[in-house]
Amino acid sequence: MVYTFPLPLPPQPSLSERHMENEENDIFYNVINRFVGFYSRDAAKETRNDTDCEYPFVAMDTRQIFAQLRFVGDFLGLDRDEPPAPMPRFLDVGCGIGNVLLIAEQFGFEVYGIEKDEYSFPIAAKLIGEDRVAQADIWAYAGYGEYEVIYYYRPFSGRAQQLRFEKLIEDAMKPGGILIANHKNSDAIDQDRRFERLSPSLPIWRKIPTP
């Protein structure tokens, strides 16, 4: 007779250890938000965007960025220790100073951004690399179909421009591509048969691959 014994479970963190980890995460998030907020305030003063319809750089909460990128990374099966070849290409439309791109890079994406504003663009180019960030106008940019993931945080304050922008991205992105669309103005994408929503709580959709 062969006796088998269950393998011991790995030690689980105690409640106090989990609490400490959450506190540490909160500290890091708050520090990041303070740094990004510093540039956001300056961007509001120095922007060359048309503020009647375009936002200057506005920082999104880092916790939300992490949650969205972690979800997409898990969906794509990304492993930081064994990155795929090629790495999925990630575009931030209106990338501001490049803070989202810095985080996305750590999740295993090959990151790119476009930014028109003369204040924010050089900061992003220095942080991410001049070969990864283009000073380009959203309407003139022709490369949306090249990326596996497209991210935006509502670039337009004017509703008409924002709706036009959303349609542009949804039409131009490639089948199989994932869209992270923060503060959308239209929910038409939920009735669009070209798309499926990947998360009930996060603004993430996939353009259904063509057969």
Q: For 168-187, write each residue's pLDDT tens digit.
A: 999 999 999 999 999 999 99
The 149-153 sheet, strands edge to edge: 133-134, 110-114, 89-93, 149-153, 178-182, 204-207, 195-197
* Burial of 44 (C-beta count, 10 Å sphere; 0-12/13-18/19+): middle
Residue 10 forms part of a structural domain: no
Read off the pLDDT of residues 43-96 as tens digits, 9 standing for 90 and up: 778 888 887 778 877 778 889 999 999 999 999 999 888 878 899 999 999 999
Is the pLDDT at 11 greater than 80, yes or no?
A: no
Give the per-residue pLDDT at 32.
Answer: 76
Residue 99 forms part of a structural domain: yes
Give the per-residue pLDDT at 26.
Answer: 77
Give the per-residue pLDDT at 46.
Answer: 80
Task: Please give the DSSP secondary-structure letter assigned to residue 50.
Answer: -
130: its two tokens: 């001049």
Residue 7 forms part of a structural domain: no
Residue 75 forms part of a structural domain: yes
Give the per-residue pLDDT at 8.
Answer: 61
Read off the pLDDT of residues 136-174 as tens digits, 9 standing for 90 and up: 999 999 999 999 999 999 999 999 999 999 999 999 999
Is the pLDDT at 20 greater than 60, yes or no?
A: no
Residue 5 forms part of a structural domain: no
Average pLDDT over residues 196-200: 97
Q: What is the CATH number of the domain that holds 117?
A: 3.40.50.150
Residue 198 near residue 205 (C-beta atoms within 8 A): yes
What pairing do the DSSP bridges indicate for beta strands 204-207 and 178-182? antiparallel
Residue 6 forms part of a structural domain: no
Give the per-residue pLDDT at 40.
Answer: 78
Residue 98 forms part of a structural domain: yes
Residue 4 forms part of a structural domain: no
Number of folded domains that form the chain: 1
In sequence order, the 6+-apart residues with CB closer than 8 A to the CB of 176 are 148, 206, 207, 208, 209
Residues of the domain holding 87: 15-207
